[in-house]
Structure 1
Amino acid sequence: MKTLINKFFAYINLNKGEEDKNKVLEAVISNISFRGSNLWILACAIVVASIGLNVNSAAVIIGAMLISPLMGPIIGAGFGLGIYDFNLLKRSLKNLLVATVVSLVVSTIYFYISPFKEALPELLSRTSPNIYDILIAFAGGLVGAVAITRVEKGNPIPGVAIATALMPPLCTAGYGLALGNFKFFFGALYLYSINCVFICLSTFLIVKYLKYPIKKQLDEKHQKQVKYIITCLTLILIIPSIYFAYQLFEEKKYQYQIDAFMETEFNNKGIAILYKKTKLNETPKKLELAFLSKRFNEDEIKKLNEKLKSYHINNTKLLVIQDTTDLKSDILNEINNNKTALSQQDVTILNLKKEISVNKYDNEALLAEMKILFPEIQNISIANHTFNENTDSTKTVPILLYKSKNELDASSKKKLVLWLQERLKKKQIEIYNQE
């Protein structure tokens, strides 16, 4: 058993194939600076990434991430924390700040002068972080740090540049600034910051694992001060990161439970959901839903709210939107605030579907029921007709055209109208014989 354990540790030993530590540190320090060519490469990469987001091209965005030198100062900061080198940490953070500001300025200018302002899916996906972004940044940072410390650098570094995705959030933040949309700006900047923090943390862990020598200071007192400052900075970095990771995990779990609730209670029962929105920042949280044709009464909505607890969805209130006008207004407001990927065309299609659903009658089923009471009726056609359009007294009335063997007498017509009013839940109905 001991032999197996030793073999296992031999397989995962990172010391095998490790580059000389001094050479690694020299390479890390040389990649920190953002002056001259590095700054030009960064600016060009930002333009390429912005174009990729603008035209919704994943290939162009990947190309921009490959040529971006943004990883340098983040890795440098991780090394600075790991070896207690305050000067290295300070230089790394300074250069990261320069790179971030330059990137924001370039992307803001691009999106400001670009004639295409629409927020496409590639751009929208970078407006807020989730738990997977944290996992990718952390795992990508580990791979990047391990690759830098190898004699043979190999292929991982280009892959790390793509996986950690530092460029797109920065460009998205520039898009938010250019359009004055600060929800986009802060959301994208938050995603960028989380990526930077977790890449830095994973680098710090690798540096500690490989036991890089701690930088000696001029005197013992100064050594203790540097250790104290770096330790505090590390804790400041780690503690909020754990909180953010937990918060995003809980948010992802909550959304999964919401999806399970909607799938079981509506989709599996053939009830089409037209609109969905969750409000997580309110107390209690709110889940807003609207449906294509199904309408719920107060008791049904109350029962659905009670069912939320069985899906472990606590502190949440279900609100069913059943007013088409209000629904259209809500969706359009979402679009204006850039909170959804729906376009004006999508809204039009959804409202047309709703209108068709409201105005459509099942002629075949109605005829089958009608023949029981009125055997002489052979065929029918029923549809809504709008009167007094473009006036203050617009009204919509269902019109029934029927074909019968014999003309219905006045009593039968009255009975037919009363039956239809009750059957269709309409106050006014007109019927005409098709000659």
Structure 2
Amino acid sequence: MNTLKTVAANIFDLEKDRAPLEEIAARIYSGGTLKGTNMCILILAIFIASIGLNMNSTAVIIGAMLISPLMGVIMSLGYGMATYDSAYVRESFLKLVFQVSLSVLTSAVYFTLSPIDTASTELLARTEPTIWDVLIAIFGGLAGIIGSTRIEKSNVIPGVAIATALMPPLCTAGYGLATYSPKFFFGALYLFFINSFFICLTTFIVLKFIKIPAKTYVSEQVFRRQRWLLSLLGVLIILPSMYMAYQSIRNNLEHAQVKAYIESNFQQGNPQVVAFHLNPQEKKLDLTLIGRTVTDEEQAELEKNLQTYSHFADWNLHIIQNDLSGTVRAEDVQNLINTQWNAAGGASLAKTQEDLRKYKELSMRYSPAYQRFEADQKLLASIREKAPILFPSFTGVEGATVATENKDGQIIPTGFLAVITCKSPLTEDEQARLQKWLNAEAELPVSFILRITPETD
């Protein structure tokens, strides 16, 4: 047992390659400087991150993470706490507040002036931090301060800068300020606060572990009070992220159970489910079907089967149907295009020239419509995911592409018609922003009808 402890101690020994304490202090003081090079790089990082978020460019955003000097000030704050240097803690805190304010305001000015005001997926990704972001901040902060206290510099700090993103959340908060979106503003600031706090906390812990000398004598009572306050603050910060993680897991489980339910109860393909929508407020699952009409008895059986799934034990089933029984059946089109088109060659499908001719006619007739339908469903799913963040009043959307036939017989999409459901009216400015956003998402002119359905208790 002693041998095992000795081996473990040697493997995880942080003293062997530790830099001298004076050099560690000099590095941290240098990183926490708020003038000259650091200020110039901060301004450049703000604009690079804002442009990357605006253009939805992951590579540009990573570049901004790498050059941002924000981590230096946060580590300075942790160093001041570890050495009980209250003056340096106060100075570092004021520097951090200044950098945060500058970043948010500068990015807000950029997004106000930018002609592209559509919320990209990179912006949306930084509005709902979860417990996993907390874990990333903890492990990233530990890696960062351990790397900073080594004799030889390594590539740890650039990796930590990417993992524990600091600049992108601040620029996302600037976008929220520019677009008057509380969810963007507060959600992104919360993500930044998570990363900052746990980088600071892990810096404090590691520096205490390597016995960084205190500037002044501190009693054990003061040290215990400091640990208690840090622990309490850490718990308070973690709680909202745990709730968001719970919501995310629940949503994923609900979608997984819905898909399992559809696969189990609609195996024959007629009728066929083309879309579903979860309505947690009313505890209702909406299914849009094409194919033959479902009878009342079948619907009752389907609802009974739905309630066997744990997340839908007390939910109701609402079926929206389009009867295609008088034309080509849904599974015919599905099998024809999905199976035959993708899995086999045209000549091998037809035993006769007549079969081949019919196959080609049906394929050319239904393939564009089917492909457009699939695109519509993806667009509607994207709108349902993003719109609640941009427009908190949004509750749902239904719609489809509007098309016309040109002189050559080709079907040309000309626009998109949508029915938007909100729980409260939108202002004229919100409607204008919604119009611009929908046009950008659909890449077509969008006409929408606004339907207000207030929430009921």
Partner residue in 1 for 2:289: 293
User: What do the CA deviations read for 1:62-109 (whole angstroms, capped 9, x no partner)?
Assistant: 111111001012112222333333223222221111111000011000
User: What do the CA deviations read for 1:383-406 (whole angstroms, capped 9, x no partner)?
Assistant: xxxxxxxxxxxxxxxxxxxxxxxx
Partner residue in 1 for 2:237: 241
State the alpha-carbon separation in 2 of the partners of residues 304 and 178 from structure 1: 48
State the alpha-carbon separation in 2 of the partners of residues 47 and 32 from structure 1: 21
State the alpha-carbon separation in 2 of the partners of residues 209 and 246 from structure 1: 28
Partner residue in 2 for 1:29: 29
CA distance change for structure 1 residues 234 and 318 in 2, over 3 Å: closer, same or farther? Answer: farther
State the alpha-carbon separation in 1 of the partners of residues 158 and 216 from structure 2: 34
State the alpha-carbon separation in 2 of the partners of residues 213 and 292 from structure 1: 68
Contact 1:84 1:230 in 2 (8 A): no
RMSD over equivalenced CA pairs, Å: 3.7
State the alpha-carbon separation in 2 of the partners of residues 240 and 255 from structure 1: 24
Partner residue in 2 for 1:118: 118
Contact 1:278 1:288 in 2 (8 A): yes
User: Helix, strand or coil for the counterpart of 1:292?
Assistant: strand
Range that drifts further, 5-14 or 47-56: 5-14
State the alpha-carbon separation in 1 of the partners of residues 159 and 382 from structure 2: 39
User: What do the CA deviations read for 1:366-413 (whole angstroms, capped 9, x no partner)?
Assistant: xxxxxxxxxxxxxxxxxxxxxxxxxxxxxxxxxxxxxxxxxxxxxxxx
Partner residue in 1 for 2:96: 96
CA distance change for structure 1 residues 176 and 242 in 2, over 3 Å: closer, same or farther? Answer: closer
Contact 1:86 1:230 in 2 (8 A): no
Partner residue in 2 for 1:351: 400
Partner residue in 2 for 1:196: 196
Selected match of 1:266 from 239, 253, 262: 262
State the alpha-carbon separation in 2 of the partners of residues 235 and 33 from structure 1: 28
Partner residue in 2 for 1:181: 181
User: Helix, strand or coil for the counterpart of 1:99?
Assistant: helix
1:236-385 matches, within 5 Å, as: 236-267=232-263, 269-270=265-266, 272=273, 274-276=275-277, 289-293=285-289, 299=300, 303=304, 306-308=307-309, 310=310, 320=318, 322=320, 337-339=388-390, 351=400
Partner residue in 1 for 2:52: 52
User: Helix, strand or coil for the counterpart of 1:266?
Assistant: helix
Partner residue in 1 for 2:408: none
Query: Which of 1 and 2 has greater Rg?
Result: 1
Partner residue in 2 for 1:372: none
Partner residue in 2 for 1:80: 80
User: What do the CA deviations read for 1:263-312 (whole angstroms, capped 9, x no partner)?
Assistant: 32125555646354576xxxxx766643331779674575366334x35x
CA distance change for structure 1 residues 25 and 303 in 2, over 3 Å: closer, same or farther? Answer: farther
Shift of 1:247: 2.9
State the alpha-carbon separation in 2 of the partners of residues 64 and 88 from structure 1: 27
State the alpha-carbon separation in 2 of the partners of residues 20 and 57 from structure 1: 40
Partner residue in 1 for 2:337: none
User: What do the CA deviations read for 1:345-366 (whole angstroms, capped 9, x no partner)?
Assistant: xx78x6359x9xxxxxxxxxxx
Contact 1:174 1:185 in 2 (8 A): yes
State the alpha-carbon separation in 2 of the partners of residues 10 and 163 from structure 1: 28
Partner residue in 1 for 2:336: none
State the alpha-carbon separation in 2 of the partners of residues 238 and 14 from structure 1: 25
Contact 1:267 1:273 in 2 (8 A): no
Q: What is the one-letter code of the residue matched to 1:253?
A: I
Partner residue in 2 for 1:426: none
How many matched pairs? 334
Shift of 1:131: 2.6
Q: What is the one-letter code of the residue matched to 1:5?
A: K
Q: What is the one-letter code of the residue matched to 2:173?
A: A
Range that drifts further, 292-301 or 256-265: 292-301
User: Helix, strand or coil for the counterpart of 1:127?
Assistant: coil
Contact 1:41 1:67 in 2 (8 A): yes
Runs of 5+ in structure 1 lacking a partner? 280-284, 341-346, 356-435
Partner residue in 1 for 2:367: none
Q: What is the one-letter code of the residue matched to 1:215?
A: K
Contact 1:276 1:287 in 2 (8 A): no
State the alpha-carbon separation in 2 of the partners of residues 278 and 84 from structure 1: 53
User: Helix, strand or coil for the counterpart of 1:146?
Assistant: helix
Shift of 1:331: 9.0
Q: What is the one-letter code of the residue matched to 1:89?
A: V
Q: What is the one-letter code of the residue matched to 1:274?
A: A
Shift of 1:320: 4.7
CA distance change for structure 1 residues 242 and 323 in 2, over 3 Å: closer, same or farther? Answer: same
CA distance change for structure 1 residues 290 and 278 in 2, over 3 Å: closer, same or farther? Answer: closer
User: What do the CA deviations read for 1:118-155 (whole angstroms, capped 9, x no partner)?
Assistant: 11111111111123222211111111010011011211
Q: What is the one-letter code of the residue matched to 1:190?
A: Y
Contact 2:176 2:184 in 1 (8 A): yes
Range that drifts further, 89-98 or 157-166: 89-98
Partner residue in 1 for 2:138: 138
TM-score scaled to structure 1, two decimals? Answer: 0.66
Q: What is the one-letter code of the residue matched to 2:259?
A: E
Q: What is the one-letter code of the residue matched to 1:29?
A: Y
Q: What is the one-letter code of the residue matched to 1:45?
A: A
Shift of 1:252: 3.9
Runs of 5+ in structure 2 lacking a partner? 267-271, 323-376, 392-396, 404-457
| % identity of equivalent residues | 38
Range that drifts further, 120-129 or 245-254: 245-254
